[in-house]
Chain A
Amino acid sequence: MTSQFQAMLDGLTRLRGVRGALVVSLEDGLVVAESVMGGLKGGALAAIGATLAGRAVELSGRGGFGRPRFLHLQGDDGALLVAPGHDLALVALAGRDVPIGMLRLEMLRTAERLG
């Protein structure tokens, strides 16, 4: 199973400007599989991505507009992207000036395969 995830993640990190991608457990924020550039802390990215997704799920539930499909947190130096599933989430970190549209599309396709 983990090797399947690894192949999915490698597909994402091949895209230009993607510095790392992870499959994360939403329940506890731990890494299930990761493909990240040296110097990036996968554990920290996983925890932050899962926490962000958890808060967004709670917020959208209270707002009554359904489960969020995609989260995009844009910073000055890059973007944190999260595609939450039911038990797992796909998390990616992109550098500045990355075409987010293509990455978003690929993440949504990949997240569908996560289940």
Chain B
Amino acid sequence: MRAVEPWVVAPLRAFVAESSARLALLMTSSGQVVAQHGFVGALDLMSVAALGAGIVASSSELAVTVGWEPFRVVAHQGKEQAHFLAWFDTPRGRWIALVVFGSETKLGLVRVFFEQLVEDLAAAAPPEEEPRREVLAADFERELNASLRALFGR
């Protein structure tokens, strides 16, 4: 398990253990990865994060278009495995969780432990020390490389 923000590790580790998730990914609503469990390739991870954030954005927009509240959870049930995708609010802004699980667990269990994860993250989040600053193009590559090192240990 790897995380850009270390305080996320304990809640996510507990979630993975209790829900029996195969893969888990926490990201911001813009698709920036915060923590991951189970992914082995940076390219896969970045693609999955971008696609997951895109699904949440498009399904939320679909709901708004027909006059509903944005969907909080999107679940894709496959034959071998399933995806659970949900957004939630944290002290650090809106995040998205993407969970891949198989027949060793159930959607209901993943949902139950996801609710616990949201509570645990809210409790574990340290207060922000400095106001958010604008991300400059010059900083972007350095921050991306630092994030990839944190997420894959390279």
Q: Which residues of A contact B (CB under 8 A)?
A: 24-25, 27-31, 41, 43-44, 46-48, 50-51, 54
Complex: A27 Cα to B75 Cα, angstroms: 14
Q: B62: shortest Cβ distance to chain A, in Å?
A: 22
Q: Is the CB of B77 within 8 A of A28?
A: yes
Interface size class of B (residues with CB under 8 A): under 10
A29 closest partner in B (C-beta): B108
* Residues of chain A within 8 A of B77, CB atoms compared: 28
Q: Is the CB of B112 within 8 A of A30?
A: no
Complex: A67 Cα to B111 Cα, angstroms: 27
* Residues of chain B within 8 A of A50, CB atoms compared: 106, 108
* Residues of chain B within 8 A of A41, CB atoms compared: 112
Q: Is the CB of A54 within 8 A of B106?
A: yes
Q: Is the CB of A51 within 8 A of B106?
A: yes
B111 closest partner in A (C-beta): A43
- Digit string of B107-128 for contact with A (CB within 8 Å is 1, else 0)? 1110110010000000000000
Complex: A54 Cα to B20 Cα, angstroms: 15
Q: Is the CB of A51 within 8 A of B105?
A: yes
Q: Is the CB of A43 within 8 A of B112?
A: yes
Q: B76: shortest Cβ distance to chain A, in Å?
A: 12
* Residues of chain B within 8 A of A48, CB atoms compared: 109
Q: B114: shortest Cβ distance to chain A, in Å?
A: 10
B20 closest partner in A (C-beta): A51
Complex: A30 Cα to B111 Cα, angstroms: 9
* Residues of chain B within 8 A of A51, CB atoms compared: 105-106, 108-109
**28 A-B pairs in the complex with CB atoms less than 8 angstroms apart:** A24-B108, A25-B108, A27-B106, A28-B77, A28-B106, A28-B107, A28-B108, A29-B106, A29-B107, A29-B108, A30-B107, A30-B108, A30-B111, A31-B108, A41-B112, A43-B111, A43-B112, A43-B115, A47-B108, A47-B109, A47-B111, A48-B109, A50-B108, A51-B105, A51-B106, A51-B108, A51-B109, A54-B106
Partner of B112, one of A25, A27, A28, A44: A44
Given A28-B107, A44-B112, output 16 extra A-B contacts at Cβ < 8 Å.
A25-B108, A28-B77, A28-B106, A29-B106, A29-B109, A30-B108, A30-B111, A31-B108, A43-B108, A43-B112, A47-B106, A47-B108, A47-B109, A47-B112, A48-B109, A51-B105
* Residues of chain B within 8 A of A30, CB atoms compared: 107-108, 111
Complex: A56 Cα to B115 Cα, angstroms: 26
Complex: A47 Cα to B77 Cα, angstroms: 16
Q: A56: shortest Cβ distance to chain B, in Å?
A: 14
